[in-house]
Amino acid sequence: MMQKIKNKYLFSWQHLLFFVSVLLSFLFSWTYYNYNHHSFNALRFQNALQQKSEEADIFAHTFIQKLRPNQEWFAVDSTETIKPRGVELLVYKNDSLCAWTGEVLPFKNESISLLSRRVAKLLNTWYIIKRIPHAHWDIFTLVSIKTNYPYNNDFLSDTYETSLPFMVCQKVNTDKNADGVRIKDVEGNYLFTAQECDTPHTLYASWSAFFMFMALILYIQLIVHLIKQQHSVLKNNLVFILSALVSAIFYFVHVNYFFPNILFATKLFSPLYFGASDLFPNMGSMLVFAILVFGQAFIFFKYVNPPHFIKQLPSSSIKKITVVTFSIITAFIFWHVQNNIVTLLVSHSASAPILFKITDIETSDVVRLFIISLLWLAAVLVLEKTVEIFLPQLSKKQLSWMVVVCMFSMALFSFDAMYLLSVLAFLIIFIMLIWVARRKQHHAYNTFIWFVFVFALYAVYNFYYHNVHNERLERELLIENLSFKLFQEEDPLTELLLKEVEDLISSDSIVLHELEKENCNVTKLEKYIAKKYLLRYLNRYELQVIPCWPGSNLKLSGEDKVYNCYDYFNRLLEENGTQVMGSKHFYFLENQPTQVTYFGVFTIHEGVPQKESRMYLELVSKPFFEGPGYPELLLSERESKLREPLVNYSYGKYVDGQLIRQSGEFSYPIHLERISNVHYDFQNYVSEGFSHMTFHPSENVCLVLSLPVVGPSMILVAFSIFFISFFIFGALLIISTRARRERFKSVFSIQERIQLAFIGLMLALLVIIAGGSVWQTIRSFEIKNNQILSEKTRSVLLELEHKIGTEDAITPDMDEYLTSLLKKFSSVFYTDINLYDLQGRLMATSRPELFDRGLSGHLMNSRGFIELSEKGELEFIHHESIGQLKYLSAYMPFYNVNNELLAYLNMPYFVGTSELREEVSSLVMAILNFYLIFLIVVIGLTVVVSRRITHPLLALQNKLSELKLGGRNEKIAYKGKDEIGQLVEQYNRMVDEMAASAEKLAKSERESAWREMARQIAHEIKNPLTPMKLSIQYLEMSRKNKDVDFDQKLKKVSSTLIDQIDKLSTIASEFSNFATMPRAKRRKINVIEALKQCVTLYKRSEEADVVIGDNGVTEFFIYADNEQMISVFNNLLQNAIQSIPSTRKGLIKVAIEKSDHSIIIKIKDNGTGISPEAQEKLYVPNFTTKSSGMGLGLAIVKNIVKNTKGKIWFETKENVGTTFFVEFPAYEG
């Protein structure tokens, strides 16, 4: 009753949780579609902004208190530590900037008019500006609102001040009439308008998807509880079929009608991570499918049973073999389908099929591993159910032959390597499941580890195969698509960008005006075009402008010959030029192997006499500093993606077998030996740890595309990732299913707690050691990079001294020379260089585009300026940042030969920072990979260690479970003197005490039994003795009286005495049989044969008809005494016949039921039944319901059955009949 109440209570709670999850999902969905565009909390944002402005005011007043005449930088230095985040300060004196705290001003523009507006965008950041006049100074506080970069990449992303509740996609607009939310200051003055996002915020959609998945899981649990309420196999199977049908319909509607529609607003349900077909359009839908499949497989495994007639089929029948074979093949088909779905998921995912670095794991990879775990586990559950149903009904020989035949038949369908691998994996798992079922270890920890090991091994081999296959196809496509670039040196990204700017150049009024002049200023034109159009990626080309007019001549340097300008360039383009596809003005010129050259032709006033002119643009690639970190900072996200395909590859170009160009990690040999004359053929070979692919676009040219070979250590790491992932997911699923059945505290046994403690300890050690190693590495690398940077800075100082050390001052007319000088030093020293004047303003830089794009201001870092200018330091190194790129930056003063201070040299060390990041990343990956492998060893060792630790406890548990009073209790041999040894000692002492107590109890029981038996025998003997005594007295009296019929009376009395003596003899025999039962001679016998012998004997009875229904069971072997079995069946059949009253025709039905590991024999009669009073004493010796006998028959029967490890019980109904059940275990050898 209590269990029913508990189930009902739990069921109602799950109903409630299910409907709450669905309700919340639809609530977030409704919010997303109706209120998402108004989700910006203007009041909260305005209050936070006002609070930040108050913090800025407090900071400014603190700064003013420190301010002294001509000591502005002292005030900056004194208040630097208390400056609020997101607040900057500019100090003007007499309208001239004299101190600052951040690089907030645009390139070489310090006009105070820039700060006249209340809200302004300086560089790439929007600020709220407030002017605070004080004496001769104007102090401006700038509160950061939001940063908008001209483009985004890994280092640059639009951000906002973290303390402000502002969404990244929102825009700042200073137009009062603009649509949006108007933001005001404390006084109520208008500041700006916060415009809503163009695209909806996906937060609500994500929450809706989360609760939808919760509802999906709860739906599976509801089906489970619904099945638990049923009480028949048919109803269970019917609920399973209906739930499977509902799941299929739901998934069909989901993928075909995009239901629920809100899910497809999230990234998980977009083709971003995965997309294969209409059935599996995205990873989110695949996750829904996996949950539904696993849920149905779990229900099938736990609660679905085969029809009753299948169990009753004889094991040797053709029908049974056919059914089992069909079931195994069906299970394999299900397994193979799941494998194909997993392969589809792996092959069509955006990420690589197999992960070789723990640091490469992303959220989508975790979801993918979870889906794979669910699908494979579902297949295992279906297969285990198949084993569970049919294993008890088949012998080992039958099962072995059937498995071999099935596997061989499946293998014949295809000789594909992956299909055969799938068959082999199925066979291994099938054999493991049979082994587990035979040993009855369904939930053993070591068994779980073995399954995880097999699946991880299978996943590594399977996914590595697909990884190699996919990579080879991708490399072929890549080398073929990029063959023009690698062969002819064309640059697809350059061509794309040139096509974007060519129309702008051709219509630029300044360009047109300059070309219309008689004396065109070529230098000015080159600078203008380069500065305005050759930005970012195109800045890697040197530009030369050649203006021409009809009839004008051209003289080449180094030649005396004069050419017609138009004719010369027309012939050049005709012979060597290839027009860029989709471009109207640009051509690619075949030039030197190490040079990329593009040629542009722009005609002005074509066909108009005296006005026509033509401008030729020659773009020649220049040496480009490609240090890690910095180039990515200057590339937009689109440009980065265009470069991405070749990031991990190395490539080399050979002409006539000679290396003329290479790129990447691999160092190519000067002469290529492995070169084929077959054109357009892909050849693959491995050399020096790299996998190489060669391609021949022409007879004498060979392109080689190389990728590092996946070594054993990387394979081991991949195996570790799969093993840990499957272990975690499998453990979570097992714990969740067990925790629902038991109290949480009792979920884990002592052995499992020890295992979890070992694993937890190793994880803790991993975190501690990894953290310590990373910290130490960062510290040592910072010291090392500081030294390297210091040495490089001093080297640049020496070079500058050689070049401009004799100058008395650096004048503005030296800017161009300084810029070229710094660019030259930059390429030599593999770093960027900035030069600031004595007031902290930028004079020259090797990377002008960094300042042109507003990524950095022209003001020197305030901390660096204070250290060098105010404190007189000779060197200062600290950390700076641009966006998310953090780097070391060194500052040193530059003196001329007269020891006069000329400038401040700054070297931002992007390369060192990137190397530090890569080194730390490599170290973290190495530590994590090592610990992943180590963790697998630990997980395996926990099995051995925990077994050794808990073995005495398990032995103690087993012995305690077998402990019986009066039985033969064995002691435990344990030599340890620890706490477990004390427990064992107490157990052994208890065994001795129980043996002594049992002996005393047995003695007492024997004495009591003999007394009771003596009393009963005396009673039974007295019963016939009384009539015997009376008969003898009666005969003696007749003799004395000399009766005439004495002889007749003697005969009658003699007959009576003989009858009574026979009764005494019977009593003596029954007592003898009960007291001295012969020793059983147990052996392997066919119990069906013994039963049929007895049935055949009693079939001749006139009192009742005896019929037998064997359900096709012809043999079942048990370990017993054949004679005793015949005695049991004879006794039960005789009792059944004797229970039938004379008023009805007797019917005895004998039935046989064969279950998993036992047989049940039922003997049913239609007699008078057994009264409730008699039921309690039925097996008690000397109790009988018959007029004769001592009541020892059923006691003997029960004793025999019990000694044979069987069970006997009965069901009865008065005046209807009684059924006796006898169960015997199967013989197991």
**Given pLDDT bands bounded at 50, 70 and 90, which one contains residue 745?**
very low
Q: Are 680 and 696 in contact (CB under 8 A)?
A: yes
Torsion, Cα 544 547 553 556, to 10 degrees, reads 0
Phi, psi of 366 (to 5 degrees): -65, -45
- Window from 63-72, 314-323, 870-879 with minimum mean pLDDT: 314-323
Q: Are 917 and 830 in contact (CB under 8 A)?
A: no
Residue where the block lists tokens 């030649």: 559
In whole numbers, what is the pLDDT of the chain averaged over residues? 79
Q: What is the pLDDT of residue 744?
A: 42
- Window from 215-219, 782-786, 1014-1018 with minimum mean pLDDT: 1014-1018
1147 vs 446: CA distance, rounded Å: 54
Please return the burial class of 616, using the count of CB atoms within 10 Å of its CB with bins 0-12, 13-18 and 19+: buried
463 vs 757: CA distance, rounded Å: 32
The pLDDT > 70 percentage for the chain reads 78
pLDDT at 38 over 70: no
Strand extents, DSSP E, 641-681? 650-655, 658-663
Task: Return the number of other C-beta atoms located less than 10 Å from residue 921's C-beta.
Answer: 13
Query: Which residues are within 8 A (CB) of 745 and not within 5 positions of it... i.e. 6 or more apart?
Result: none
**Higher confidence at residue 469 or residue 906?**
906
Task: Return the number of other C-beta atoms located less than 10 Å from residue 177's C-beta.
Answer: 6
SS3 state at 530: helix
848 vs 988: CA distance, rounded Å: 88
pLDDT at 354 over 90: no
Q: Are 175 and 193 in contact (CB under 8 A)?
A: yes
Phi, psi of 696 (to 5 degrees): -120, 90
Query: Which residues are within 8 A (CB) of 673 and not within 5 positions of it... i.e. 6 or more apart?
Result: none
129 vs 141: CA distance, rounded Å: 6
Residue where the block lists tokens 């039994």: 1009
Task: Return the number of other C-beta atoms located less than 10 Å from residue 277's C-beta.
Answer: 9
118 vs 1170: CA distance, rounded Å: 103
- Window from 107-121, 246-260, 836-850 with minimum mean pLDDT: 107-121
Q: Which spans in 706-839 are helix H?
A: 712-741, 750-804, 815-829
pLDDT at 726 over 90: no
SS3 state at 924: helix
What Rg, from alpha-carbon coordinates, does the chain have?
47
Locate 1123 and state its tokens: 């004679």
- pTM of the entire structure? 0.66
pLDDT in tens, 807-824: 989 888 888 788 888 888
Task: Return the number of other C-beta atoms located less than 10 Å from residue 684's C-beta.
Answer: 11
Q: What share of the chain is helix, strand, coil (3-state, %, to 5)?
A: 55, 15, 30
Instruction: Measure Cα distances from 1126 to 350, 1088, 1091, 1190, 1194 in Å.
Output: 73, 11, 7, 20, 14
Q: Which amino acid is it at 325?
A: T
SS3 state at 1056: helix
Give ∠ CA 331-337-341 in degrees, rounded to 5: 145
680 vs 725: CA distance, rounded Å: 43
Phi, psi of 1162 (to 5 degrees): -110, 130
pLDDT at 50 over 80: yes
SS3 state at 1208: strand
Q: Which amino acid is it at 602?
A: F
Mean pLDDT of 1099-1125: 80
DSSP-derived secondary structure letter, 263: G
Instruction: Measure Cα distances from 16 to 222, 255, 328, 332 in Å.
Output: 11, 27, 40, 39
The pLDDT > 90 percentage for the chain reads 16
pLDDT in tens, 1047-1089: 777 777 777 677 777 767 766 766 665 555 556 678 888 888 8
pLDDT at 243 over 80: yes
pLDDT at 743 over 50: no
Q: What is the pLDDT of residue 463?
A: 86
Q: Half-sphere exposure of residue 1017, counting CA atoms within 13 Å on the CB side?
A: 17
pLDDT in tens, 621-651: 764 444 444 556 777 776 666 666 677 788 8
